[in-house]
Structure 1
Amino acid sequence: MNVIPNSLHGRDLQYLMHPTTNARAHERTGPLVIARGEGIYVYDDAGKEYIEGMAGLWSVALGFSEQRLIDASHKQMQSLPYMHLFGSRGQEPSILLAEKLVQMAPEGLDRVFFTNSGSEANDTVVKMVWFYNNAIGRPKKKKFISRIKAYHGITIASGSLTGIPANHKGFDLPLDFTRHVSTPHYWRDAHEGETEEQYSDRLAAELEEMILAEDPDTVAAFIGEPLMGAGGVIVPPAGYWEKIQAVCRKYDILIVADEVINGFGRTGHMFACETYGIKPDMLVVSKQITSSYLPLAAIVFTDALYQGMADGSEALGTFGHGYTTSGHPVATAVGLENLTIIEERDLVSNAAWMGERMRAGLARHADHPLVGEVRGEGFIAAVEFVSDKTTKAGFSTPGKVAQAVSAAAQRHGLILRAIGECICFCPPLIMTEEQVDELLHRFDMAMTEGLAPFLSGEVA
């Protein structure tokens, strides 16, 4: 390995191991070092500008230079830079943010527990549900049902809920408390002539069959992203969530809505539960809660769950779970200011309008011979590539086409994410019409450049 000690690239290669990265490939290519951000743009260490079309990791709602978040962090650092919430301690920012989240969340969600990330939050969801069922005398009711291609995090528990093979292989996951049902991807998996409603009926029947096979007395919860993110931006078909919820309620199974990506405006409503008519028992949020300026996540849940856990903590002497930085006062102060800005600037409506503009622009590529589907909701979208539009087949080397387009986009100053055969879009909520049009222009150039070798036959 050739290391240039005095460059950031060389020091990266010498010292740093990157998450979700092929380490050997990274040694060959080196990093893209981002030096600064301004609005929707980031700049590398050579000064090149990029539109951050993925808002970092689906998460920077307010862009990369919001002074009010910087000021909120600085102010809190000056007054109280740290205090935990263990053993009945409290501090103002976490109390106020908990109150704000309950006011904003879907009706019936009245309690809040803070963690530092979506992975920790979903890990905590598992422990909370187990603790609750033990407390109310249902010790067998412990299994979670998730979905293939779901992404719920990367800890041992949340990684087991995740349904992506790359996050399981080599880690001895998933653990055996999880089961996975089908991905709700109508375009790819519906039978010929099957309507969206009929397809949703079939998936609901699959869920019910699994619950009955496992024994309803052992199944605790169904967890799902309202719109699936890291699985490839998969929009649920008509009737899906209504039918899935009906099955869960029939067998007294909790519904956990993972809005780590969806929450705070991404689907054109404050929460995707509103978009799809979901009435969850637990709502998980992170990412856009602080625009990822600081790590923070929260679980917002029903009072019924709280009462069961509170009784359990009385019986045992404690609810023995938490993190050193759960509800960190600087993070919660930034979160409170971030949500205030989202409301003040009506960025939820902006996401709906700009998302419609972006998706209409992407739809121009729907007739391309290598494009199978253009899909999305609100300000999140994906373009999926196929080798054959009739059979919807992928390519001999999975992901090669999407990676080629993603690389071309980066050369044209646009950062996107290739996931399997898809290119995904999730820009900051603050984008203007002109900026959306510039994103589309740069993507058009990336499509022309990235797909040319596959159209000409230079690359199979």
Structure 2
Amino acid sequence: MSSKNPIDMKDVWQKDIDHYIHPWTDFSTFKQEGSLILSDTDTDGVSVIDGDGKKYLDGIGGLWCVNIGYGREEVAQAAFDQMKQMHYFSAFGHHTSAPAALLAAKLAELAPGNLNHVFYGCGGSVANDTAVRIIHFYFNQLGKPTKKKIISRTDGYHGSTYISMSITGVKFDHIGFDIDKELVHHISCPNPYRRPHGMSEEEFCDLKVQELEDKILELGPDNVAAFFAEPIMGAGGVIVQPKGYHKRILAVCRKYGVLYVSDEVVTAFGRLGHMFASEDEFEIVPDIITCAKGLTSAYMPLGATILSDDIYEVISKPQADGAIFTHGFTYSGHPVSCAVALKNIEIMERENICGHVQEIGPYFEAQLKTLSDLQIVGDVRGCKFMMCIENVANKESKELIDPEAKVGNRIADHCQKRGLIVRPLAHMNVLSPPLVLNKAHVDFMVRTLRESIEETTADLKAEGFL
């Protein structure tokens, strides 16, 4: 920050309270406590600095998204160069820019199977919203106008536009808001940790696959358009489905002519050690992949909906004389965002960041699992740089701690005091750090989590929650 124009952090803090409506705000505390003002990043690429100069290791990667780390000057330079050359022109009506075209070709190269066609938006919610509109248009073009309904899972997260939040199955996120319950239908969460007592994981998988087939038959195959699924369920608690689940679910979708949408907004671009996880990690080639977050490592907003050749062949034919494909946004294919994405992918490939994740990810998993000896840690789960700690009152019964205790928030607060940012989700804590994390960073995170969970446990006992 320039010494000539110092920022008054108290003034910023107050103006933030007075005027800025934050996403996912807890208004029971916000108006009194306000926000932690983050104003800079550290040269280590994985830490942020607050307005008072305190450093924090970012254990959540911004929001699952700062994949190549902070402070990449060549990304800033790519954005600056594109802004100087041509910062924007509309993509409507047969106009394009080189970054948008080159990125589309690169995504087609990286995506599995015949997913060769890219529609741009500004983020993951819009990418999923776009998928729904295109799917409906696709079936209209095929003369199947009743195929409209969407199926997703309880605890799946797909965004916060009206339709993407309707597809989202995290019930807490629906409190006080409306969703479309006619269009979207949910099946239960395939969480192996919460499977019935005495049931094997294989039997649990059978149950979940059958549930999808039963739901399609209940709604009528002629009415069901698509199934939405994250390869690993993120904001619902980092749920890793039983082995073979995705392949079997895809087979059910194929049986009834239901399109499979793989929501890779979180998992794409290295978080699981692959540019795309659908095929490389889970051995499926979906009909559509949606992505965002790691696409630019959050240096610019950008999302993409990637379609198969089969879908594109249908939607790219005029539906009537003089009709056009009337979907899109002012910032679709924004040249600066696309230039940043191209540089982001170039860095990932040049530095073999996916290989780094495959090397450090298992160490991260193993070290986090050492926390399982702590009294309230019921489950440590996830894959590579996408992990979750679930806290419980009783490990045998898996009974939850009273929600009034806000255990996830307590642990996050204790971590923050020690210089680590983790994400609280009710009784859970999520970890999704930048992909450039090293073993020393992992050790600090695990040590800090241990101390913070132990302090939280002592607090809960003192207050009668345990």
Alignment of 1:84-163 (within 5 A): 84-163=90-169
Instruction: Give the one of 27, 37, 41 matched to 2:31.
Output: 27
Alpha-carbon distance change, 230 to 315 in structure 1, aligned in 2, over 3 angstroms: farther
2:428 matches 1:422 = yes
Shift of 1:194: 2.1
SS of residue paired to 1:87? coil
CA contact (8 A) 1:281 1:301 kept: yes
Q: Give deviations 1:321-344, integer Å, cap 9, x for gaps.
A: 100001100000000000111111
TM-score normalised according to structure 1 size: 0.96
SS in 1 for 2:116: strand
Q: CA deviation at 1:24?
A: 3.6
After superposition, the C-alpha distances for 1:276-330 in whole angstroms (9 at most, x for unaligned) are 1121000001000000111000011111111111124565611101000011000
Select which of 310, 322, 336 maps to 1:304.
310
Q: Per-residue deviation at 1:41?
A: 0.5
Matched, 1:396 2:402: yes
The 5 Å alignment of 1:437-448 reads 437-448=443-454
State the secondary structure of the residue aligned to 1:42.
strand
Please give the per-residue CA displacement for 1:11-36, whole angstroms capped at 9, x wherever unaligned. 11121111101224100111100001
Do residues 264 (structure 1) and 237 (structure 2) align? no
Do the aligned partners of residues 95 and 11 (structure 1) sit closer, same or farther apart at CA in structure 2, a change above 3 Å counting?
same
* Distance in 2 separating the partners of 1:74 and 1:399: 47
Paired residues of 1:399 and 1:419 also in contact (CA < 8 A):
no
Where in structure 1 are there 5+ consecutive unaligned residues? Answer: none
What letter is aligned with 2:234?
G
Q: 2:17 aligns to what?
A: 13
> What is the CA deviation profile of residues 378-412 of structure 1, one whole-angstrom value per residue up to 9, with x for unaligned ones?
11101100011111111222561111101101111
Letter in 2 for 1:232: G
Gaps of 5+ in 2: 1-7
Structure 2 counterpart of 1:350, one-letter code: H
Once residues 40 and 316 of structure 1 are traced to their aligned partners in structure 2, the CA distance between those partners, rounded to angstroms, is 52
Counterpart mapping for 1:21-420 below 5 A: 21-38=25-42, 39-188=45-194, 190-273=195-278, 274-313=280-319, 315=321, 317-397=323-403, 400-420=406-426
CA distance in 2, matches of 1:401, 1:353: 32
TM-score after normalising by structure 2: 0.95
SS in 2 for 1:291: coil
1:132/1:312 contact within 8 Å kept: no
Query: Matches of residues 447-458 of structure 1 in structure 2 within 5 Å?
Result: 447-456=453-462, 458=464
Secondary structure of the structure 1 residue equivalent to 2:196: coil
**2-structure distance, mates of 1:48, 1:71:** 27
Q: Aligned to 1:119, what secondary structure does the other structure show?
A: helix
Is residue 302–residue 338 contact of structure 2 (8 Å, CA) maintained in 1? yes
Alpha-carbon distance between aligned partners in 2 of 1:307 and 1:278, rounded to the nearest angstrom: 21
Contact 1:41 1:51 in 2 (8 A): yes
Residue pair 2:385, 2:435 contacting (<8 A) in 1 also: yes
1:367, CA displacement in angstroms? 2.2
Query: Matched residues in 2 for 1:251 and 1:206: separation?
Result: 14
| Equivalent position of 2:3 in the other structure | none
Q: Match for 1:439: what amino acid?
A: M
Amino acid at match of 2:13: H
Q: Does the CA-based 8 Å contact 1:157-1:175 persist in structure 2?
A: no
Work out the CA distance in 2 between the residues paired with 1:453 and 1:63. 34
Measured in 2, the distance between the counterparts of 1:160 and 1:340 equals 35
Moved over 3 A (4+): 312-316, 455-460
Cα distance in 1 between the residues matched to 2:302 and 2:181? 26
In the alignment, is the contact (CA less than 8 A) between 2:288 and 2:306 conserved in 1?
yes
Q: Deviations over 1:143-187 (max 9, x none)?
A: 110000111000111111001123222221134210000111011
Q: Distance in 1 between matches of 2:212 and 2:465?
A: 41
Task: Give the aligned CA root-mean-square deviation in angstroms.
Answer: 1.5
Q: Give the Å deviation of 1:441.
A: 2.1
SS at match of 2:381: strand
Q: Is the 8 A contact 1:399 1:422 kept in 2?
A: no
The one-letter code matched in structure 2 to 1:97 is: L
| Contact kept in structure 2, 1:145 and 1:179, CA below 8 Å | yes
- What one-letter code is carried by the residue in structure 2 that aligns with 1:211? I
Whether the aligned pair in 2 keeps the contact of 1:17 and 1:23 (CA below 8 Å) is: no
CA distance in 2, matches of 1:436, 1:286: 25
The residue type equivalent to 1:31 in the other structure is S
Post-superposition shift, 1:228? Answer: 0.4
* Count of residue pairs brought into register by the alignment: 456
1: CA distance between counterparts of 2:231 and 2:334?
Answer: 28
| 1:452 shift after superposition | 1.8
Q: Name the CA distance, whole Å, in 1 between partners of 2:436 and 2:142.
A: 45
CA–CA separation in structure 2 for the residues paired with 1:243 and 1:315:
41
- C-alpha separation between the residues in 2 aligned to 1:178 and 1:270? 29
